[in-house]
Amino acid sequence: MTLLLFALSCIALIGFTFVTGFHDAPNATAIPVKTRALTPKVALRTSALFNFLGMALTGLALGSVTTHWLTVPQGKTGLGMILATLTAAVMWGLITWWFRMPSSSTHALISGLAGAAWAAQTVGLGRFNPFSEPLTTFLIIPLILVPLVLFCFSWAAVFPFYGLLQGTYPATVNRFSRIILSLANSLISLVHGVQTGQRAVVIYAVLLLSAGLDVAPTTYVISAIFLAMVLGLGTARGSSRIGYTFAHQMVRVDPLRGAIAQSSTALALVLLQFFLNTPVSSSHLSASAVLGSGVNQRFAAVRLKIVVRIIFTWVITLPACFILSAVLFLALSPLL
């Protein structure tokens, strides 16, 4: 049964990685495509390449890793928790994709783990805290504080650039803005690949520990490269459904404001990922940045109804994935 749960968890991890690439691709590609900086095909292929590179480099750099932020009990209980969590995250990713809503796979994982741990305690399989850091690190800062700060930063950044470029030919501004958008697409995708790679390698390490399997460090590297290929494939198959929501329906932006938004997103991802090591959602950052720069216009460019739906999706992600994961674990519990 342990090996079966391990195999099913590995399949769920592959599915989660593919859905993450498929679901999050518009975070980097939607604005460049909307402003005609890149064609949809070029944007997706570029994003897929840099997602692959980011995740593969993470596997090469980490090699044999420690669990760091994630701890689950060894044996069938831990495998059941991971399986329920990954399955719930995949289900929520597909649900939000169907409704064209950007959502955070990071917060889906965190709330799913919390739900699985609660379910394990409910059925008497033990009391576990799957997180090695306070929940404020995972929820309050990235879910509330960071998007608000990035919204304000992106809104304020329009003023100096608009003043600096007054008198410049619009064609010149648009041309340079599209160059910046193309570069930002690559940088956002690279950091997204690094972030996804860290999660995937850590989850895989936890699965091995829970199953009691001892493998060579090179196995982590090979697994990371394989998962990087899955992430790249998922990104290349990325749908325009979610991108259409926040690049077309939520707000209308010109190339200059799009470049400011994407540059702000890329800067925030690099700062938070590499310097502060804080788990954040690229979906939240991308939507907050484009909304901030889009609001700063003389005419009404924002559809408040869509904004409310997006924020509602962000908030409901936590209880929804908690409940999904808890129900799935309770269904698995007779086998554990």
Q: Is the pLDDT of residue 86 over 90?
A: yes
Q: What is the pLDDT of residues 103-122, one digit of tens each?
A: 888 889 889 988 998 999 88
Q: Is the pLDDT of residue 89 over 80?
A: yes
Q: Residue 84: which pLDDT band, with cuts at 50, 70 and 90?
A: very high
CA distance 282 to 297: 24
* Cβ neighbours of 67 (radius 10 Å): 14
Sign of the CA dihedral running 302, 304, 309, 310? positive
Q: Residue 53: which pLDDT band, with cuts at 50, 70 and 90?
A: very high
Instruction: Give the pLDDT of residue 136.
Output: 62
Q: What is the pLDDT of residues 254-279, one digit of tens each?
A: 899 999 999 999 999 998 877 777 77
Q: Residue 300: which pLDDT band, with cuts at 50, 70 and 90?
A: low
Instruction: Give the pLDDT of residue 67.
Output: 46
Instruction: Give the pLDDT of residue 299.
Output: 66
Q: Residue 151: which pLDDT band, with cuts at 50, 70 and 90?
A: very high
Q: Identify the residue with better confidence: 10 or 63.
A: 10
Q: Interior CA angle at 23 toward 203 and 120, to 5°?
A: 40
What would the mean pLDDT of 62-91 be, rounded to a whole number? 77
Instruction: Give the pLDDT of residue 15.
Output: 95
Instruction: Give the pLDDT of residue 229.
Output: 94
What would the mean pLDDT of 87-103 be, rounded to a whole number? 93
Instruction: Give the pLDDT of residue 64.
Output: 47
Residue whose C-alpha is closest to residue 228's, from 57, 37, 32, 101: 57
Query: Minimum mean pLDDT among 10-24, 51-65, 123-137, 317-331: which range?
Result: 123-137
What would the mean pLDDT of 94-110 be, rounded to a whole number? 90
Q: Residue 95 burial (CB < 10 Å; 0-12/13-18/19+)?
A: middle
Q: Is the pLDDT of residue 68 over 60?
A: no
Q: Is 167 left (phi over 0), alpha (psi -120 to 50) or beta?
A: left
Percent of the chain residues topping a pLDDT of 70: 92
Q: What is the pLDDT of residues 172-207, one digit of tens each?
A: 999 999 999 999 999 999 999 998 888 888 888 888
CA distance 151 to 268: 11
What would the mean pLDDT of 301-315 be, rounded to a whole number? 88
Q: Is the pLDDT of residue 292 over 70?
A: yes
Instruction: Give the pLDDT of residue 47.
Output: 94
What would the mean pLDDT of 245-255 be, rounded to a whole number? 83
Q: Is the pLDDT of residue 148 over 70?
A: yes
Instruction: Give the pLDDT of residue 135.
Output: 63
**Mean pLDDT over the full length of the chain:** 86
